[in-house]
């Protein structure tokens, strides 16, 4: 073979081999490059899955947080509701307590006309209150007394009233010529409603005399209906001495003043006995 043709053949063969090598290298590179892409896709997919998991976890956390918030809100609402219920219930309790408690604005001073200022009881109402019974004990009270100093016979000449004290009075227990004897008594009393000849009467009776004879209603300071206040111009009260000294009376009586007045209402009564302008004896009965 001529040398020029040998050279051309060698060059051609070299080119063919080079081309084949380049082709082989290119094919191998494509395969390797595809694997890289697949790996990247797989990595992206894994990342996406991981992100999805994170998102799901985040969603779960958010759901849990929402549920907790809802539960907290519900609990807060329930608590607020209970608090509201308590607040609503409190006034009712306060009202019940207010109803059970005594009225501090009503006076209990027997010398205060405001302690029993309701309209006067009528004869008809008294008979209805008594019903078919011949008598009824309406209330109890101890007679109280207060005094003041006066320079004349009218109230404008008097000083202030002294502090009230339980009334006591010395009653005659014996009188025989030049010899007299007295015994001092306190005055717990009953207010008795009774009828006499079909008409209602009120009587202020000493407890001891009532204990001795509960039916003797006229043995007290008796008041007849018709005026307000009712009036007795000779207020005698009887006292029974269950333990008299030897040769002493047991059936005693005392004059409570120069005049007695009684205001009686549906649920209270106030008696006042006066001696001039210096002395008042009073009692407040509630029933």
Residue 285 pLDDT grade (very low, low, confident, very high; cuts 50, 70, 90)? very high
Residue 22 pLDDT grade (very low, low, confident, very high; cuts 50, 70, 90)? very low
- The 10s digit of each residue's pLDDT in 41-71 is 333 433 434 333 444 343 444 334 343 434 4
- The 10s digit of each residue's pLDDT in 87-107 is 344 444 444 444 444 455 789
In the chain, % of residues over pLDDT 70: 64
Which tokens in the block code for residue 266? Answer: 């549906």
CB 226 within 8 Å of CB 121: no
Query: What does the pLDDT read at residue 148?
Result: 98
In the predicted model, what is the mean pLDDT of the chain? 76
Rg (CA), the chain: 56
Domains of the chain, residue spans: 1-103, 115-286
β-pair partners for 158: 150
Query: What does the pLDDT read at residue 106?
Result: 82
Which tokens in the block code for residue 44? Answer: 């992206």
Query: What does the pLDDT read at residue 163?
Result: 98
Q: Quick one: CA dihedral 202, 205, 207, 210, positive or negative?
A: negative
Query: What does the pLDDT read at residue 132?
Result: 92
Residue 187: how many other CB atoms lie within 10 Å: 23
Whether the per-residue pLDDT at 180 is higher than 90: the answer is yes
Beta strands in the chain (DSSP E): 135-142, 144-147, 165-166, 168-176, 179-186, 188-196, 199-206, 221-224, 230-232, 236-240, 251-255, 259-264, 268-275, 279-286
Query: What does the pLDDT read at residue 38?
Result: 41
Closest CA to 126 of 193, 214, 215, 191: 193
What is the average pLDDT across 177-192? Answer: 96
Q: How far apart are CA 116 and CA 216, in angstroms?
A: 27
Query: What does the pLDDT read at residue 99?
Result: 42
- The 10s digit of each residue's pLDDT in 146-179 is 999 999 999 999 999 999 999 999 999 999 989 9
Residue 149: how many other CB atoms lie within 10 Å: 11
Residue 142 pLDDT grade (very low, low, confident, very high; cuts 50, 70, 90)? very high
């Amino acid at each position: 073979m001529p040398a020029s043709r040998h050279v051309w053949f060698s060059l051609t063969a070299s080119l063919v081999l080079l081309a084949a090598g380049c082709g082989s290298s290119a094919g191998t590179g494509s395969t390797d490059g595809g694997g890289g892409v697949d790996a990247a896709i797989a990595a992206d997919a894994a990342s996406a899955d991981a992100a999805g998991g994170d998102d799901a976890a985040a969603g779960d956390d958010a759901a849990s947080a929402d549920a907790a918030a809802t539960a907290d809100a519900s609990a807060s609402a329930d608590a607020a509701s209970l608090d509201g219920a308590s607040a609503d219930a409190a006034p009712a309790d306060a009202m019940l307590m207010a109803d059970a408690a005594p009225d501090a604005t009503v006076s209990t001073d027997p010398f205060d006309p405001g302690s029993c200022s309701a309209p006067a009881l009528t004869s008809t109402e008294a008979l209805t209150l008594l019903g078919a019974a011949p008598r009824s004990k309406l209330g109890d009270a101890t007679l109280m007394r207060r005094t003041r100093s006066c320079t004349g016979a009218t109230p404008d000449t008097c000083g202030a009233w002294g502090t009230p004290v339980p009334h006591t009075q010395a009653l005659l227990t014996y009188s025989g010529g030049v010899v007299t004897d007295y015994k001092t008594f306190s005055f717990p009393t009953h207010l008795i409603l009774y009828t006499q000849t079909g008409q209602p009467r009120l009587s202020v009776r000493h407890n001891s005399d009532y204990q001795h004879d509960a039916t003797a209603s006229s043995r007290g300071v008796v008041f007849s209906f018709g005026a307000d206040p009712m009036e007795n111009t000779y207020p005698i009260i009887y006292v029974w001495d269950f333990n008299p000294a030897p040769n002493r009376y047991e059936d005693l009586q005392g004059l409570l003043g120069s005049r007695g007045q009684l205001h009686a209402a549906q649920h209270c009564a106030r008696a006042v006995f006066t001696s001039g302008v210096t002395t008042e004896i009073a009692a407040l009965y509630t029933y």
